[in-house]
Structure 1
Amino acid sequence: MPHHTTPTPLSGTLMCQAMWARDGRQLADFYATALGTTVSQTFPDDEGNDIAFAFHLNATMHLFYTSPSFTAPDWPAQDLPFHLDLAFDDVHTAEQRLVEMGATKPDHQPGGTHWTVLLDPSGQPFCIHSTH
């Protein structure tokens, strides 16, 4: 009878999440403001043009790349490979502020009263929830 050993569990940490948009700076500013911080780093391309923009929350870098060929997903017709969920103490006020900042609210709202789907300025869906 073969002897099987249990592998040692991994214990990695999330170091960075990255997103692409036609305007990485606009998207970085949007999410930084939504999360109560500011863009703190930029990264240039080979010609010296800033093409990536970042901020840090705790130990995680949030990085937003400019990609002229970026196309937002056709949600809900297309499945999403991933999306962000943000939590706020006052979801109603947060929704109003996020819309003022450039988000839009699609008609399709699959979360009922549990969460609200918004589209960020690049057209990518994200959800907002209550922290309670």
Structure 2
Amino acid sequence: MAGADNRPALAGKVTSHAIWSDDGRRLAEFYVAALGSEVSEAYRDEEGREAAFPVRVGGTMFIFWTATSFKAPEWPRDELVFHMDIAFDDVEAAERRLVELGATKPGHQPGGEHWTVLLDPSGQPFCISAG
């Protein structure tokens, strides 16, 4: 496949996804519980404070970053900077457990019976559905 300038396309591989929030550790722990993983050793900022919390899920690394200027989107009004879809065998049980872990369910549900939108503890939307 060639790029727009007719040179061969690059063949890079995504090694991680970074997700900002007001509390990276809390968000990492939420997704660890949802995805059945664990938080790896935190990365520290310039002052030595824990700032980024890596979570490996299969071959993908997610890094949950504490950003002091983070502001959750006002969904659905605001455009999203990231979005995650997670499949579960038992969506109803998963929804109950995710709410217990700190997710909330907004009134706006555009997926009908196909998917359910939840807001993670940082206020960012993600969707759950059957596999």
TM-score of the superposed pair, with normalisation by structure 2: 0.91
- CA–CA distance in 2 between the matches of 1:116 and 1:85? 10
The equivalent residue for 2:80 is 80
After superposition, residues 54-69 of structure 1 pair within 5 angstroms as 54-69=54-69
Which blocks of at least 5 consecutive residues in structure 1 are unaligned? none
Which blocks of at least 5 consecutive residues in structure 2 are unaligned? none
The equivalent residue for 2:52 is 52
Post-superposition Cα deviations, 1:40-83, rounded to whole Å, max 9, x if no partner, equal 12001122110110111222210011112210001111121330
SS at match of 1:53: strand
1:44 partner letter: R
**Residues 19 and 82 in structure 2, CA contact (< 8 A), matched pair in contact too:** no
**Residues 40 and 55 in structure 1, CA contact (< 8 A), matched pair in contact too:** yes
- CA–CA distance in 2 between the matches of 1:82 and 1:45? 23
- Higher mean C-alpha displacement, 72-81 vs 87-96: 72-81
**Residues 41 and 55 in structure 1, CA contact (< 8 A), matched pair in contact too:** no
Q: List 4+ stretches of structure 1 deviating above 4 A.
A: none
TM-score of the superposed pair, with normalisation by structure 1: 0.90
SS at match of 2:42: strand
1:36 partner letter: G
**Residues 44 and 50 in structure 1, CA contact (< 8 A), matched pair in contact too:** yes
Alignment coverage as a number of residue pairs: 127
Shift of residue 6, structure 1, vs aligned partner: 5.2
Report the RMSD for the aligned CA atoms in angstroms. 1.4
Shift of residue 112, structure 1, vs aligned partner: 0.2
The equivalent residue for 1:70 is 70
The equivalent residue for 2:116 is 116
Post-superposition Cα deviations, 1:76-132, rounded to whole Å, max 9, x if no partner, equal 11121330100111100000000000000000000000000000000000000101x
